[in-house]
Amino acid sequence: MSDTINRTIHLCIPKKYQQEPIISKLTSEYHLNVNISAALLGTDSYSSGWFEIHLEGEEQSIQAAIAYLTDLKVVVQKIEAW
The boundaries of the domain holding residue 34 are 4-78
Q: In b/e form, how buried is each residue of 5-27, taking b as 16+ CB within 10 angstroms?
A: eebebebebeeeeeeeebbebbe
Number of domains in the chain: 1
Give the C-alpha separation, 68 to 45, whole Å: 24
- What CATH number is associated with residue 74? 3.30.70.260
Whether the pLDDT of residue 82 is over 60: the answer is no
How does pLDDT run across 1-51, given as a tens digit for each residue?
A: 568 999 999 998 888 887 889 999 999 999 999 999 998 876 665 667 889
